[in-house]
Amino acid sequence: MKVWNRVATLAAALLLGACATGGSTSPPPQASAENQAVDAYLIGVDDQLQVTVWHNPDLSVSVPVRPDGKVTVPLVGDIAAGGRTTEQVGAEIQQKLAQYIRDPQVAVILTALRSHEYLSRVRVTGAVRSPISIPFRQGMTVLDAVLAAGGTTEFAAPDRTELYRRGQAGETQSYAVRLQKILQQGDLASNYPVQPGDVITVPQRAF
């Protein structure tokens, strides 16, 4: 099983490497359930954190993450939380509290994932009737998202549509979508399943 997992991982890496940026005609890779489970959740703005300091209830606090990505903790002051894991935030709080109390034990728990819905949205921009940001749903495709935006305008160049997706390394990859073929011919070859955070852009045709 371990050998098979390594082979599968290598194959996935080769597939990602083959998807060049700037309008690849290859279908976008799908995120595996295993990778999603392994990736730690990163705290976002408006998430609610419960900071617990063992045997020090006066230092324990429930706080929301502010728009600047920080939370305020007694004795410690402001701590950066946005874009970090609960373990990273807890370790920094524990390190700073060590200046005031002996051997502090800190636990940070997410009690409300309020930023998740925002981060999971799919956005449709460009020459559509109602540019839109919609919540991701399992099974959603490019066509679903474009129809939610009211379809294309008379000025659109639908066959030059691009699907933009952020890769695991943080780079943005683009995939060519033949939207006119999807809408007028029922050709679903490029009607890709979307993922949370995807952006679909329908350009205007040149005059």
Query: What are the domain boundaries of the chain?
Result: 48-115, 120-207
65-79, 105-119, 152-166, 176-190: which has the minimum mean pLDDT? 105-119
Compute the radius of gyration of the chain from its Cα atoms.
22
At residue 34, the pLDDT reads 33
pLDDT in tens, 69-86: 899 999 999 999 988 999
Are 122 and 131 in contact by the 8 Å Cβ rule? The answer is no
Give per-residue pLDDT as tens, 125-142: 999 999 998 988 889 999
Identify the CA nearest to 190 among candidates 138, 200, 122, 166. Answer: 200
Token pair belonging to 31: 């995120």
Report the Cα 115 to chain-centroid distance in Å: 10
Fold adopted by 48-115? wza like fold (3.30.1950)
pLDDT band at 114 (very low <50, low <70, confident <90, very high): confident
Tokens encoding 159: 């066959």
**Residue 29, burial from CB neighbour count under 10 angstroms (0-12, 13-18, 19+):** middle
- Whether pTM exceeds 0.75: no
Is the model more confident about 34 or about 199? 199
Categorize the per-residue pLDDT at 206 as very low, low, confident or very high, splitting at 50, 70 and 90.
Answer: confident
The token pair that represents 13 in the structure block: 């890496």
- The reported pLDDT for the residue numbered 29 is 57
Can you name the CATH fold of 120-207?
Answer: Outer membrane lipoprotein wza fold like (3.10.560)
Q: Tell me, what amino acid is at 46?
A: D
